[in-house]
Structure 1
Amino acid sequence: MKKVVACLVLLAIAAAACGWYAYLHRNMLVEYTEEQKLAVEMPTKSSISLQNMSAALTSDDGSMYVIANSKKTIYKLDASDKIQYEIVETPDTVSELNNFNELAVDSKGYLYTVNTVLDSYGLRVKSEQIVRFTPKGVFDRVIHRLDYYDQNNKKRLRVGNFKSLMVQDDVLYYYVNADSDVTQYRFGEGASEKQTTFSFKLPDNKYLEEVQGIARGSIYYSTRSGEIYSLAADGRSSVVYPLPGTNRTNRNYPESLKADGNGNLYFLDYYMNAISRLNLKNPYVLETLFSAEEQQAKGNELSFYDMRSLMVNGNGELTVTVMDRIMQLGSNGEVKRTIDSALYSGGYRSMRLLTWGAALVALIAFSAAALIYYVYVMKRRISLMLKQIMVFVPIIVISMSVLSYFIYTNFSKKLEEESLRELAMLAHNGRNLIDGDKLEQMNSPLDYMNEDYQKFRRSMDFVFEGKSDFRNDDYYKALYRVENGVIYRLIEDDDSAYMYQPFESTPANAQVIKEGKVVTDQWVDDTGSWMYALSPLYNAKGEVVGLYEISKNLEGIVQHRKQLLRGIVQNLAIITGVLIVLFMVMTYFQLASIRKLRKSVTEIASGNWDVSVSIRTRDEVQDLGEKFNMMTQHIRDYIAQITRFSEAYYRFVPQQFLQYLDKRSILDVQLGDQVEQDMSILVTNIRSFYRMSKRLTPEENFNFINSYLKRFGPYIHHNGGLVNKYLGAGIMALFPNASGSDDALRSAIEMRRELDIYNMHRANSGYKPVDIGIAIHKGPLRLGIIGEEKRMENNVISDDVNMANELEKLTDTLGVSVLATEHVMRTVVNRDRFQYRCLGLIRVEGKDAPIVLYDVYEGDTETIRALKDRTKALFERGVELYQVGRFYDAREAFVQVIKINRQDQAAKLYFYMCDEYYQNGTTSDWNGTLSVS
């Protein structure tokens, strides 16, 4: 007993310690998807995609700091794009959301950022603080904190008052904007508190957007109305952009303003789709440093709608943040480097493996402790009531937990549907409050906060007045201007949103403009995940001149769902407790009648031989169980023997085969039974198996083949297939259902993926890798029983089976892993979910007419898939040119394919044939086919 107790204590300690460690490092177990949802991150993953980025900063030592995952994560990357650390901010309560804004780093590697705390709806700023992290990414201290209380209805939305974190000589400088007053603060190493350096006032009716510079006389700031001002040493402000005669308009709004310290200002210009540079020595000439038009001419597709920020260092080199990539530009605007993913460093991967190991150990230790506890207690002579409680209480708890999950899931779905209906209704009501004719009169950021602007703002909020069911703070509102098919931002519930910034055209907003109806949808960007409704705004002529948007932050909805789930769990916990008490009372009274079980068991023993009883209670119930078992043992043995016989013959004659012949069992099968079916045929073989088998003994050959078939055969069964026969080192399988083509393709893809794992295990054991070819064809075939009365077997007879065998031999020649015919691809139900390319008309040995073949490369390695995806259009264009006899053009197309993917065997075959035909001409009977025999 002491050993059992000691073992339980050790297992409990191990489970608690490892579980706590895994909880503290839980960010190592999950990752953000493109939809900004958390998903399990496998420990073997070596890289991560950088998604929904809002800012990036390159330090002097080449390290890069990135705010990603809709402002929820900060990554530090070294010069080789390896992650040094990541910071994931978690809110203090479920009624809050946290965002990272701004980045600055000193020469010692200390990182400064603004942590903005929003309400549960992701709109109102509750507080913000400038925080510092050590060079290891560990929280160090809070430097400055601001709290917001909505006094006099002056609330900050999405962003706070902190502006422009900058580091000079390892001293942090930043600004705080309060109405028309702007104050600069500094915080140096060794200082215990921040220090105020100076303040200045903004010009009348101007509102601060961004500030650059530290010392007066070299400070520049932009306003919400689109101007750039210079702050002189005496505190006076003067306009430096746009000046009269500048070759830009008031719509060239300067966003993400930056200065390089050499008299140059840089900013994003969404109106021109460009990054502009302004030399203050000649402010009348604005230089286009980098433009989307120029990049498109170079073949680099770039959407300026996804541009989020830029940073500039002292020598004029830029770091530009796009939602899905980071570009480093030279001082002349040339793209030097693009980053869209980050690698895990060795230390980071070790930490992830350690965290996964701790989580696994915790799970195993807990399961082992529970198992030992139950086995130990159940073997002891204790009250039957206590034993029943130990069994049924977990069942009740698990059942109630499952019930909680389904209630929560169904309610969440209905809540989301209801939210979309509410948004549509509010958007529809709100559009009647906006005057479309006056909306057309707003032409540039100079209209910011003018009379019409404020009237529109009041109208946008007015839709919630008098409606007790809706809170204005719950919803995000936006007003857009539509002009010549282009959508411009005008007014938004986001104090960081720019006026008259072009907005990306999406199918949803395009539908609103085209059809003039309210549309609901969901959206994910660097600010978070949203559900929204868009309504058209009309002028007096009935033309759509604007859009009115009402949206909700999905992260806020998730927080409310958590609160809902907590309430459901609490209520169900109370119900569960009451049920447990009632169960204990009922069990207590049922013990008085337990002896009646003897009669019931005797009645069961009189004919129901399928029931067995295993009782170790050391009481009268055990006596009844022993008599029952003695009486039924020989019956169970006989039934077990019959069952084993049935299971054995199914190994030789699959049950599906009997179903096709309309036979109930093997006893009904007669020689000559047959049926015709239209099926997909999959043939797979190990390539070069003959050479490999010569190096093995007969026993090793048998062991290898059985190991191989045991590993790959289940993928056929799991996808509804039937293994018709084993071809030595291969398999011939049939897929009979209406979705047989889809099932066969899925089976082939899964086998190719399993091959990578299989070869990895072989490599670990010192064996050479193997390769397989898979061919899939579809056609009519006849299944039946052949042989003679003393020896029969099932078989399939069809010319299409021979075709599948011949196609499998071509996979190695064509350099493809899965080869499918046109008949297969034409009958695929979900064709778009597979990755494939057309190989063209190919002549197969023994066949008169050529057939169209397809290379299904979804099961290939990630690198090969990426290369084939990249060259798919070019390859298929080359095939089309080849088939019409344009060999020179086709050859050039295949040359381009081979340059990108040097392992493309099919492209090489086409290239050689194009070159041959181009040089020497074709034969008179050539009909556009590729001969590979």
Structure 2
Amino acid sequence: MKKSIAALLLVLLLLGVAGTYLGENQERIELWPWKKSMPFDGLSKAISDAQNNLFVIDNAKKTIHKLNPEGVLQFSITSDTGKNGEVYRFNDMAVDTQGYLYTIRTLLDPYGIVVKSEQIVRYKPDGKFDRSLFTQEYSDSQSKRYRIGSLRNIQIHEGMVYFFNDEVSKLSLYQTPAGEGSTQEPTLTNTIMLPSNKYVAEADGYKLGAIYYSTRSGEIYHAMADGRSEQVYPLPGIDRTRRNFPESMHLDEQGRLIFIDFNARMIARLDPKQPYVLEALVDDEKAKANHVELAFDTTTSSVGSDGSLIIVESAQINRRLPDGTITEPLVEAKFSSAERKGTLFVWFIAVASLLLVLLAFKLIYFDLLKRRLPLMVKQIFILIPVIALSMILLSTVIYNSFSQKMEEETFSELILLAKNGQNLVDGDKLEAMSSPLDYRGSAYQSFRKRIQAVFENNVRDDNQGFYKAVYKYEDGVIYRILEDDDGMHMFNPFQQTPENQQVVLEGKTATGQWEDFSGEWRYAIAPIYNSGGKIVGVFETSKNLDGLLKHRQAVLHSIIRNIAYISVGLLLVLVVMTYVLLSSIRKLRNSVGEIAKGNWDTVVTIHTRDEVSDLGDSVNLMASRIREYITKVENFSQSYYRFVPQQFLRFLNKETILDVELGDQVEQRMSILIFNIRAFFQMSKGLTPEENFNFVNSFLKRFGPYVRKHEGLMNKYLGAGFMALFPNQTDEALMACVEMRRELEIYNGHRANVGYKPVDFGIGLHKGPMRLGIIGEEQRLEGTVISDGVNLATMLEKMTEPLGASILITDAVVQSLERPADFLYRDLGLIQIDGVKEPLHLFDVYQGDPETIRVLKEKTKALFEQAVTFYQVGRFYDAREAFLMVIKQNRQDKAAQLYFYMCDEYFGQGTTGEWNGTLSVS
């Protein structure tokens, strides 16, 4: 259980880390890991730096890419989203010699139409944001702008950043130092007063007297050094239809004007020194000659650092080299190997995260739920996903239904608004418009004012975000006249579609939708008639699906929020109901748990009068029967444990005597203790059988508890003694022997008080391997111990009297003592016992002997053990003298006496060839 929970917590932690990492690299998830390049989609501008790196504004002005000369992507700058859903767009850019990038960043409303503010923003050479240099706010209706603001043409010259600010009646030029460390605010360097009723479209140049600007009415003016403006295009006498509108105007290194004429489908160059000569740099004929196809619809251009002309269309970039050659189109940005590896790693993390989710699902629903958990917890684990899935399904159904209805209503609303265009736009006035010179004329202003009155006075969110456009139909061509995009110019031809042809030819209202890099659109168009009933124009109302999605998402969030509230409420109700319903089960569980713990007097009390109550009564009856049965079993077990110790069963890994089978056995290493009363059979001859039983029982009752006190077990009784086993520390076994020897002195004192003779006993202690098991036959079983150690311990007990010891132990016991210093014992040397092939290394433990004996043995211990050493190496004379000195101090030392006699014999007669340094005792 703990391992599963720990594993689940680890998985959740890893998921949190992976989720954070994937959130920070979300844009890479949108790229397939095997893609080697990224196609352009919605290009609007491209420039190059001194190293011929290319900077492009892509993705409908949402992203800036930097590409090296080989077309490999170096970094991307993605536009942000405002705090209230506003969107940022990049409208222009320039790069200095240090690699710093300067952009005009425009903040639009959530629908991407109305400009809220503009900034000149600087980015570091690695694409990281540096600082904002200049900000222009558009807060009042008088300064309202559409799609693009008032800032124009950011440019770098001679270490300075220049840009224009269109202030309606005048054009202001600002400058600020470029490069790293520059923090100076932009300063106004020049102001150009515009001719009456002229409005700036684009501007270029930075030196007084060398500044040019184009107007929304289709002219190009030269700002003179004396403050006057002189028209340089088109000049009187030049054959122009007034529909040749100069767009994307800029200056080359020689001060020549380069602009795009969409009506003539060409990129032209005009030298102000020769204003009547218009050179076609690129047109359809020259493009085809270089096997290049240009659409001339959203085309822009700029001059590269190598003098080439960079031509940008919505999905491709071409260069016109100085020799007139047009290069193959660049249609995609290549990914570097590092970028591809990074994308692969992000996808690896994503796949690993998915596997972690599956693992978490497994841990919860296949591991944890199979374990012992409260029923309520299991219900929550099951109910929450079911409710969540139901909520998602219900939200999806409602959302899809609402979206479909909303889309139908949107089309209906667009159609209604498009038909209303006939009332908003005077057809006669529209028909009278003939050229861009009519820009912001009386008719133009009346159209704009009436349209704004209808569309912009309603503050409801679902009535905002409409895109309006007025088109003129003339000679089979549809021209743009007025729309919510200050970047579009009057009399720019609009492409023919089946829908708008249906309107201008048949007079029917049409609806449609299209998807491009700027979004997914829904639109409706209706005809505009003059007073004679002739179709002279088209009125369009459209909406970007991004705007609709905002409303859909708001509704979806509302639906999810309400369903979530309902789901949480349902979940709480279910949890409370479950808690109440399970209370009787919990009572039953707790009562049964108490019974299982052995509290047999527990009574289950449930008053619900249902199946659980009946079950409680049955449990009470069962508990009563079990209580009676267990009482009998316990009594039987307690009685049986008097014959077969519980520890013996544990050694065999048996819970009760019922589990024991014939042949069960186990090998253990234990201390074996043999205890016997000396001369018991002679003493028993003077006692009656009843007195013998009473004596043995009282004697064992007095000394047996010392075995249990030191974690030993009585294996069997031997008539005048017993055999005990000690599975734990040898120190405990030896301490039991010592305490029993001390108890003997107290016991004999009590016997003397009532006139009984004292008794004595011997103890043999050995440690070694033994096999415990069950012997017998099916109808009669007995637990026993089979080991050479038992025989050895028995012989040790018999040798205690001839060696003058009360406790004899082997060297195996001494070597296994953890605290040998806690005991008093002496080395008896190697003793050869009859019936045992190998001599035994024995020790005399005298710690429990009477004080007189204990003191004398302790006093002569060193001399005795030295004498034993002399004996073992055959120095019998020295050994005899040493033993003699021991005997003189302790005349009761039988072991010293035995050694003395053997030394005397061997010293006088010599030893046999089989003698091995042992003392033979029989």
Instruction: Check whether TM > 0.5.
Output: yes
Q: Is 1:26 matched up with 2:26?
A: yes
What letter is aligned with 2:58? A
Q: CA deviation at 1:85?
A: 1.6
Aligned partner (choices 356, 360, 363) of residue 351 of structure 2: 360
CA distance in 2, matches of 1:337, 1:111: 27
Aligned partner (choices 362, 365, 376) of residue 385 of structure 1: 376
Give per-residue Cα distances to partners, 1:291-340, cap 9 Å, x unaligned: 12443566644321242x11113664211111121111123543123111
Contact 1:185/1:194 (<8 A) preserved: no
Contact 2:56/2:66 (<8 A) preserved: yes
Relative to 1, partners in 2 of residues 1:388 and 1:314: Cα closer, same or farther, differing over 3 Å? closer
SS of 1:304's equivalent in the other structure is coil
Relative to 1, partners in 2 of residues 1:365 and 1:296: Cα closer, same or farther, differing over 3 Å? same
Relative to 1, partners in 2 of residues 1:569 and 1:465: Cα closer, same or farther, differing over 3 Å? closer
Q: Is 1:71 matched up with 2:61?
A: yes
What letter is aligned with 1:275? I
CA distance in 2, matches of 1:301, 1:539: 39
Aligned partner (choices 120, 125, 129) of residue 130 of structure 1: 120
Aligned partner (choices 416, 437, 452) of residue 407 of structure 2: 416
The corresponding residue for 1:869 is: none
Contact 2:175/2:186 (<8 A) preserved: yes
**Aligned positions, number:** 588
Q: CA deviation at 1:81?
A: 1.7
Contact 2:133/2:186 (<8 A) preserved: no
Q: CA deviation at 1:251?
A: 1.6
Q: Is 1:288 matched up with 2:277?
A: no
The corresponding residue for 2:109 is: 119
Q: Is 1:331 matched up with 2:322?
A: yes
SS of 1:226's equivalent in the other structure is coil
CA distance in 1, matches of 2:306, 2:234: 25
Q: CA deviation at 1:464?
A: 4.1
CA distance in 1, matches of 2:49, 2:396: 47
Q: Is 1:163 matched up with 2:152?
A: yes
CA distance in 1, matches of 2:40, 2:155: 24
Q: Is 1:536 matched up with 2:527?
A: yes
Q: Is 1:54 matched up with 2:32?
A: no
Q: TM-score, normalization: structure 1? A: 0.60
What letter is aligned with 1:288? A
CA distance in 1, matches of 2:342, 2:184: 35
SS of 1:288's equivalent in the other structure is strand
Contact 1:323/1:525 (<8 A) preserved: no
Q: CA deviation at 1:270?
A: 0.9
The corresponding residue for 1:481 is: 472
SS of 2:65's equivalent in the other structure is strand
Q: Is 1:372 matched up with 2:363?
A: yes
Q: Is 1:182 matched up with 2:182?
A: no
Contact 1:27/1:88 (<8 A) preserved: no
Relative to 1, partners in 2 of residues 1:526 and 1:258: Cα closer, same or farther, differing over 3 Å? farther
Q: CA deviation at 1:374?
A: 4.4
Q: Is 1:206 matched up with 2:187?
A: no
SS of 2:107's equivalent in the other structure is strand
Q: CA deviation at 1:560?
A: 2.8
What letter is aligned with 1:141? R
SS of 1:187's equivalent in the other structure is strand
Q: CA deviation at 1:398?
A: 2.1
The corresponding residue for 1:253 is: 245
SS of 2:222's equivalent in the other structure is strand
Contact 2:63/2:76 (<8 A) preserved: yes
Q: CA deviation at 1:269?
A: 0.4
Contact 1:247/1:285 (<8 A) preserved: no
SS of 1:101's equivalent in the other structure is strand
CA distance in 1, matches of 2:239, 2:568: 76
Aligned partner (choices 513, 516, 519) of residue 507 of structure 2: 516
Q: Is 1:564 matched up with 2:537?
A: no
Q: Is 1:222 matched up with 2:211?
A: no
Give per-residue Cα distances to partners, 1:93-133, cap 9 Å, x unaligned: 35312222112112222222222111122211112222222
Aligned partner (choices 159, 172, 177) of residue 161 of structure 2: 172
SS of 1:403's equivalent in the other structure is helix
Relative to 1, partners in 2 of residues 1:97 and 1:285: Cα closer, same or farther, differing over 3 Å? same
What letter is aligned with 1:77? L
Q: CA deviation at 1:437?
A: 2.3
Relative to 1, partners in 2 of residues 1:592 and 1:316: Cα closer, same or farther, differing over 3 Å? closer
What letter is aligned with 1:274? M
Aligned partner (choices 377, 397, 402) of residue 388 of structure 2: 397
The corresponding residue for 2:33 is: 43
What letter is aligned with 1:179? V
Aligned partner (choices 235, 239, 243) of residue 231 of structure 2: 239
Contact 2:48/2:305 (<8 A) preserved: no
The corresponding residue for 1:453 is: 444
Relative to 1, partners in 2 of residues 1:454 and 1:293: Cα closer, same or farther, differing over 3 Å? farther
Q: CA deviation at 1:578?
A: 0.3
CA distance in 2, matches of 1:82, 1:447: 46
Contact 2:480/2:492 (<8 A) preserved: yes
SS of 1:305's equivalent in the other structure is coil
Give per-residue Cα distances to partners, 1:855-879, cap 9 Å, x unaligned: xxxxxxxxxxxxxxxxxxxxxxxxx
CA distance in 2, matches of 1:465, 1:108: 45
CA distance in 2, matches of 1:382, 1:4: 12
Aligned partner (choices 90, 94, 97) of residue 80 of structure 2: 90
SS of 1:116's equivalent in the other structure is strand
CA distance in 2, matches of 1:472, 1:373: 48
Q: CA deviation at 1:368?
A: 2.3
Q: Which one is further off, 194-203 or 574-583?
A: 194-203
Contact 2:462/2:551 (<8 A) preserved: no
Q: TM-score, normalization: structure 2? A: 0.61
CA distance in 2, matches of 1:23, 1:468: 35
Q: CA deviation at 1:254?
A: 0.8
CA distance in 2, matches of 1:377, 1:82: 51
Q: CA deviation at 1:239?
A: 1.1
Give per-residue Cα distances to partners, 1:876-920, cap 9 Å, x unaligned: xxxxxxxxxxxxxxxxxxxxxxxxxxxxxxxxxxxxxxxxxxxxx
CA distance in 2, matches of 1:540, 1:297: 48
- Which structure has the larger Rg over C-alpha atoms? 2
The corresponding residue for 1:493 is: 484
Relative to 1, partners in 2 of residues 1:191 and 1:86: Cα closer, same or farther, differing over 3 Å? closer
What letter is aligned with 2:340? R
SS of 1:381's equivalent in the other structure is coil
The corresponding residue for 2:427 is: 436
Contact 2:287/2:294 (<8 A) preserved: yes
Relative to 1, partners in 2 of residues 1:310 and 1:249: Cα closer, same or farther, differing over 3 Å? same
SS of 2:214's equivalent in the other structure is strand
CA distance in 1, matches of 2:202, 2:520: 26
Q: CA deviation at 1:488?
A: 1.0
Q: CA deviation at 1:220?
A: 0.6
CA distance in 2, matches of 1:274, 1:319: 14
What letter is aligned with 2:11? L
SS of 2:329's equivalent in the other structure is strand
SS of 2:98's equivalent in the other structure is coil
CA distance in 2, matches of 1:300, 1:311: 18
Identity %: 42
The corresponding residue for 2:70 is: 80
Relative to 1, partners in 2 of residues 1:468 and 1:166: Cα closer, same or farther, differing over 3 Å? closer
Contact 1:260/1:313 (<8 A) preserved: no
CA distance in 1, matches of 2:306, 2:74: 26
Q: Is 1:270 matched up with 2:262?
A: yes
Q: Which one is further off, 330-339 or 292-301?
A: 292-301
Structure of higher RCO (CA pairs closer than 8 Å, 6+ residues apart): 1
Q: CA deviation at 1:552?
A: 1.3
Aligned partner (choices 179, 194, 198) of residue 185 of structure 2: 194
The corresponding residue for 1:575 is: 566
The corresponding residue for 1:17 is: 17
SS of 2:327's equivalent in the other structure is strand
What letter is aligned with 2:155? M
Contact 1:66/1:74 (<8 A) preserved: yes
SS of 1:531's equivalent in the other structure is strand
CA distance in 2, matches of 1:508, 1:545: 16
Contact 1:261/1:314 (<8 A) preserved: no
SS of 2:112's equivalent in the other structure is coil
Relative to 1, partners in 2 of residues 1:352 and 1:468: Cα closer, same or farther, differing over 3 Å? closer
CA distance in 2, matches of 1:140, 1:93: 20
